[in-house]
Amino acid sequence: MAYGDGIFETIRVDSGRVAFLQTHLARLKESAVFFQLLPKDFNWAEFCRELDNVIEKIHDGVLKIILVRKYQGRGYRYTTDAGSEIIMECYGGKIPFGWQLDPADIGICSTPCSINSMLAGHKHLNRMDSVLASGEVQEKGWDDGLMCCQTQVIEATAANVFVVQKNSILTPEISVAGVNGVVRRILVSEPSLPVREVPQLTLSDCQNAQALFLTNAAKIVWPVNSLTVNGRIIRYDLTNPTLERVISDFRNRLSC
């Protein structure tokens, strides 16, 4: 796992049902091909059969699939025949949906989000920025924290961020930094929802929002209660109709 040179997926399983498996697998495949992480003759059908066997054993929890390039020796150079390693980790235990949790109290991390247009979007393993930001979140006692590039908000440490302004839902484009999360992918491709990707989401967009919510593949949609900026606490409307519509949309998709 040298140099964080790999990708991963974190997949929610509840009551034996896997949330958005096809979207996860599509992203894994897309990134594996992009980063040349697998031999050309890799058997995806066989991999999916093995995956099914693993999933059968999880009733509630999270399945993590990690795909890393194998290294032979020192340095960054790799041989295309070096192959890769697929690791599957299961973390059991029922995970509450975000909307069942207390809404999140979040802050702004001082660790910047790493910028690289070639890595942006992919769920790769170069996540030292997220780890350091997560350290800040723990130290401050927040539920999560926003990560920025200068004055632009990109994402939370382990979630995408969405801002409700009037009847629109805005989220930053993932073109130079950030992860294109699975729930985010579904949200931006859903024509019935007023989600719009913007080239730049500023901190004032967040401060002036009616509602704010976070998304990831484990908690799905997590409403934000408050955002602390330089000691000032901004509170959001937890009964905002647009936010409620997003939640009910995902409840329907997950039939819960």
Q: Which of the ranges 68-76, 165-173, 205-213, 219-227 carries the binding residues for a second copy, by CB under 8 A?
A: 68-76
- 47 near a second copy, rule: CB under 8 A: no
Residue 140 has, within 13 A of its CA and on its CB side, a CA count of 22
Of 29 and 127, nearer to a second copy (C-beta) is 127
Distance, in Å, from the CA atom of 27 to the CA atom of 136, rounded to the nearest integer, reads 29
Other Cβ atoms closer than 10 A to 218: 19
Select from 17, 54, 91, 240 the one that contacts a second copy (CB under 8 A): 91
Under DSSP, the state recorded for 188 is: H
Closest CA to 124 of 132, 116, 136: 116
Shortest separation between residue 4's beta carbon and a second copy, angstroms: 2
- Tell which phi-psi region holds residue 105, choosing left (phi > 0), alpha (psi between -120 and 50) or beta: beta
- 33 near a second copy, rule: CB under 8 A: no
Site map for a second copy, 10-29, x if CB under 8 A? x-------------------
Residue 81, helix vs strand vs coil: coil
Shortest separation between residue 145's beta carbon and a second copy, angstroms: 11
Residue 127 has, within 13 A of its CA and on its CB side, a CA count of 19
Under DSSP, the state recorded for 199 is: S
Of 156 and 169, nearer to a second copy (C-beta) is 156
Question: Do residues 66 and 89 lie in contact, with contact meaning Cβ atoms separated by under 8 Å?
Answer: yes
Q: Which of the ranges 42-50, 74-82, 187-195, 205-213 carries the binding residues for a second copy, by CB under 8 A?
A: 74-82
Q: Which residues is 233 bridged to in the sheet?
A: 228
| Positions 182 through 241 that interact with a second copy (CB under 8 A) | none
| Positions 112 through 131 that interact with a second copy (CB under 8 A) | 112-119, 124-131
Write down how long the chain is.
256
Residue 177 has, within 13 A of its CA and on its CB side, a CA count of 21
Of 9 and 243, nearer to a second copy (C-beta) is 9
Q: Which of the ranges 25-33, 67-75, 163-171, 235-243 carries the binding residues for a second copy, by CB under 8 A?
A: 67-75
Distance, in Å, from the CA atom of 234 to the CA atom of 209, rounded to the nearest integer, reads 10
First to last CA, the chain: 37
Of 126 and 202, nearer to a second copy (C-beta) is 126
Shortest separation between residue 200's beta carbon and a second copy, angstroms: 16
Shortest separation between residue 204's beta carbon and a second copy, angstroms: 22
Which position has the token pair 């702004």? 108
Shortest separation between residue 149's beta carbon and a second copy, angstroms: 8
Residues that bind a second copy (CB under 8 A): 1-5, 10, 35-36, 62, 64, 69, 73-78, 89, 91, 110-119, 124-135, 137-138, 157-158
